[in-house]
Amino acid sequence: MCPGARYGARMNGQAGEEVWVLADPRAGTAAQALGIAERLGWPFRTLPLEWSALAGLPLAWPSLAGLAPAARGLIAPPWPGLVISAGRRSAPVSRWLRRRGARTVHCMRPGLAADDFDLLVIGRHDDPAPAPNILPILGATHRISPAVLAVARAEWPGLEALPRPRVAVLLGGAVRGEGLDPGEALGIIERVIPGAGSILATTSRRSGTAAGEALAGRLEGVPGHLHRWGTPGPNPYAAFLALADAVVVSGDSVSMLSEALATAAPVFIAGAPPGARRHRALHASLIAAGQAVPLDHFPHAPSRPPLDESGRVAGILRASLLRGIAACG
């Protein structure tokens, strides 16, 4: 059976019902659900979630017990026709709403009761077992759409005047660490500088202050633009992607790697956290699909089409909702 076919049968053409997005407090997790909702083309309501101490437990039943009181107060009728969620902690909430008639789309592994969702959107790097309700994708869904890139390009016209090739360098950091090692950040930049006309560099929340300071010192006098996470003012991240001739991404960030693939620029992966099996599996899946290459290949990489998994998932949902069928791809 085509992935999503069971989902399409249950939707029964009810496209006019309200859509809810359960937004995890972690921005990267919430972006997976929001990215799909924004591509559907229908109004939706975002419910910001906050967790109670029980959220860390593997709740085996549909429940709101993992929600803090303020977030629990947002869950009230009229119930939605469609719920889009992401992350293990939101899965019991989605299942609870399914008991009240909602159809459910969930990103990432839900933990327990994987068969208790209408559609699961799971990265190929997580090696999901084939099932009627599972749709494997490359990387993760996100909010960087063609429309977002077009708007960002128009909002930052000064970047387009920078010398080419413009190389975007997107730096993350360990999920549970003390930030990105400054030496590692500098090593990536040193590898990129000789092949770049200008550098569009950004750190993220996980990069830490030391890495940002090291980059600022090294990039002084180098054509380009450095955005350090937390700097006041607008964030040029989407504009960096829109205007880059090549994108270099630290291998610790599933979100930034997936977002970089929304462009037509070659994508280079810079390392991976030690022992990070999932990250290495992600890198292998992207390389096998011809969507990325290791940084050692910089600046040479084969051409590639933009990857739009968020749009593909949204298209499958629209087809299922409107025609009672599910598209494969």
* Domains of the chain listed by start with CATH number: 5-141+309-323 (3.40.50), 146-297 (3.40.50.2000)
Rounded CA-CA distance 49/253 in Å is: 22
Coil/strand/helix, residue 311: helix
Nearest alpha-carbon partner for 119 in 127, 262, 110:
110
Burial of 52 (0-12, 13-18, 19+ CB in 10 A): middle
Residue 91, token pair as written in the block: 């899965």
Q: What is the pLDDT of residues 131-171, one digit of tens each?
A: 999 999 999 999 999 999 999 999 999 999 999 999 999 99
Say what the pTM is: 0.90
| pLDDT band of 327, cuts 50, 70, 90 | very low
The predicted pLDDT at position 321 comes to 67
| pLDDT band of 1, cuts 50, 70, 90 | very low
Range 21-46 average pLDDT: 96
Q: What is the pLDDT of residues 180-201, one digit of tens each?
A: 889 999 999 999 999 999 999 9
Helix axes 182-192, 209-219, angle to 10 degrees: 30
The predicted pLDDT at position 174 comes to 73
The predicted pLDDT at position 230 comes to 83
Q: Are strands 224-227 and 198-202 parallel, antiparallel or unpaired?
A: parallel
In the chain the first and final C-alpha atoms are separated, in Å, by 13
The DSSP letter of residue 129 is P
The predicted pLDDT at position 273 comes to 66
Q: Write phi, then psi, for 86 (nearest 5 degrees).
A: -155, 145
Residue 78, token pair as written in the block: 């009229």
| pLDDT band of 8, cuts 50, 70, 90 | very low
200 close to 167: Cβ distance less than 8 angstroms:
yes
The predicted pLDDT at position 176 comes to 63
Range 112-137 average pLDDT: 94
Coil/strand/helix, residue 20: strand
Coil/strand/helix, residue 327: coil
The predicted pLDDT at position 329 comes to 39
Work out the mean pLDDT of the chain and round it to a whole number.
Answer: 90
The predicted pLDDT at position 180 comes to 86
